């Protein structure tokens, strides 16, 4: 069994990932660390975890874990991913790993010198609905892919929330804009060459609260928006000359909507529905990571993929400051 340590008591860990780690067939959470020992003990007690630590360093130095899950604020991801790797631990770190593509290079170096697995936690790449989308596009189910549409939004004006705090790496693009980009890249196997974008920032928070993006790929375009002060919405559509695929709960499958995708024909007279009931994407992510960390040849989201996805986000920020197109990378 792969022994997990969790670095912090963050909400995403409490609500989604720790239950998935505990539920995984090949792993178990053996330790939780917090800068507040009482919080670590409380969360450990809630999940029946045997060890609680009052500092991250103490847990990393221990021999009761094989790897760590890091759900810290974005601004701390790179630092603690490197520290964990240097402690000889495998690392699953929440997205986004970094706020700039260039910041990922030291993490790659730490991975390589310590011979550990380090992966950014894009859980969607383990969900069978996205494997199916990729398969359908590859086999020509929509004909020639011409356009991809995406949207991801929610409403949050809580000034204390890290998503609204730029010093912690907050903002719509780092939080949710990374999903339409990674989903498109994952499903098509292609990279954008150039893009244009507009961004609106909250005058009080300073974070980006709305981004509208057009990216040009080889053979098709991607347009998407993400927003942190709009009504909740999630959708991805892959539109070709012979049909289109609609993903109804592309990112928070099972929470936002049911796990299903629809393949529509050219005349919109027939649709094939693919359902994925009771799929737990965080569990699938944890199981794949543990298998890879233990030497099995299974796909995981690599740091090289992280660099490529972050380059798209970096380009969106650059494009928002100029007129016209900017190159990606």
Query: How high is the pLDDT of residue 11?
Result: 85
Q: 10 falls in which pLDDT band (50, 70, 90)?
A: confident
Phi-psi region of 278 (alpha: psi -120 to 50; beta: other; left: phi over 0): left
Q: What is the mean pLDDT of the chain?
A: 97
321 is written with which tokens?
A: 């400051």
Catalytic residues: 95
Query: How high is the pLDDT of residue 106?
Result: 98
Q: What percent of the chain has pLDDT over 90?
A: 95
Least confident of 3-12, 77-86, 108-117: 3-12
- CA 264 from centroid of its chain's CA atoms: 28
User: What residues contact 102, with CB distance under 8 A and at least 6 apart?
Assistant: none
Segment 288-308 shows an average pLDDT of 98
Query: How high is the pLDDT of residue 13?
Result: 84
The rounded distance, in Å, linking the Cα atoms of 36 and 117 is: 28
Residue 254 has pLDDT above 90, yes or no: no
Q: Give the CATH number of domain 2-121.
A: 3.40.50.720
Segment 68-107, tens digit of pLDDT: 999 999 999 999 999 999 999 999 999 999 999 999 999 9
Place of tokens 């509208």: 212
The rounded distance, in Å, linking the Cα atoms of 3 and 317 is: 38
Rounded to two decimals, the pTM is 0.96
Do residues 116 and 90 make contact, with C-beta atoms less than 8 angstroms apart?
yes
Q: Give the CATH number of domain 125-279+310-327.
A: 3.30.360.10
The rounded distance, in Å, linking the Cα atoms of 324 and 320 is: 9
Place of tokens 């024909």: 265
Asked if omega into 276 is within 30° of 0 (cis), the reply is: no
Show me where the domains of the chain are located: 2-121, 125-279+310-327
Do residues 314 and 101 make contact, with C-beta atoms less than 8 angstroms apart?
yes
């Amino acid at each position: 069994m792969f022994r997990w340590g969790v670095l912090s008591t963050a909400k995403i860990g409490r609500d989604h990932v720790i239950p998935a780690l505990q539920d995984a067939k090949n792993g178990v959470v053996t330790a939780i660390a917090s800068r507040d020992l009482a919080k670590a003990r409380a969360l450990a007690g809630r999940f029946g975890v045997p060890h609680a630590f009052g500092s991250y360093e103490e847990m990393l130095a221990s021999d009761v874990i094989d790897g760590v899950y890091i759900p810290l604020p974005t601004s701390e991801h790179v630092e603690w991913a490197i520290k964990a790797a240097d402690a000889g631990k495998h690392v699953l770190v929440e997205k986004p790993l970094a706020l700039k593509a260039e910041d990922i290079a030291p993490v790659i170096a730490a991975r390589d010198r310590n011979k550990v697995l380090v992966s950014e936690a894009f859980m969607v790449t383990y969900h069978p609905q996205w494997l199916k989308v990729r398969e359908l596009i590859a086999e020509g189910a929509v004909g020639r892919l011409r356009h991809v549409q995406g949207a991801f939004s929610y409403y949050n004006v809580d000034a204390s929330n890290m998503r609204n705090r730029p010093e912690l790496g907050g903002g719509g693009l780092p939080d949710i804009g990374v999903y339409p980009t990674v989903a498109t890249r994952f499903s098509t196997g292609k990279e954008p060459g150039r893009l244009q974008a507009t961004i609106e920032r909250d005058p009080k928070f300073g974070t980006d609260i709305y981004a509208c993006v057009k990216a040009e790929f080889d053979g098709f375009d991607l347009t998407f928006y993400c927003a942190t002060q709009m009504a909740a919405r999630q959708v991805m559509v892959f539109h070709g000359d012979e049909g289109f695929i609609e993903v109804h709960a592309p990112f928070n499958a099972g929470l936002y909507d049911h796990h299903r995708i629809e393949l529509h024909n050219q005349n919109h007279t027939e649709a094939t529905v693919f359902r994925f009931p009771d799929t737990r994407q965080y569990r699938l992510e944890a199981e794949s990571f543990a298998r890879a960390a233990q030497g099995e040849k299974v796909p995981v989201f690599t740091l090289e993929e992280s660099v490529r996805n972050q380059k798209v986000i970096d380009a969106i920020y650059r494009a928002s400051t100029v007129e016209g197109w900017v190159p990606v990378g």
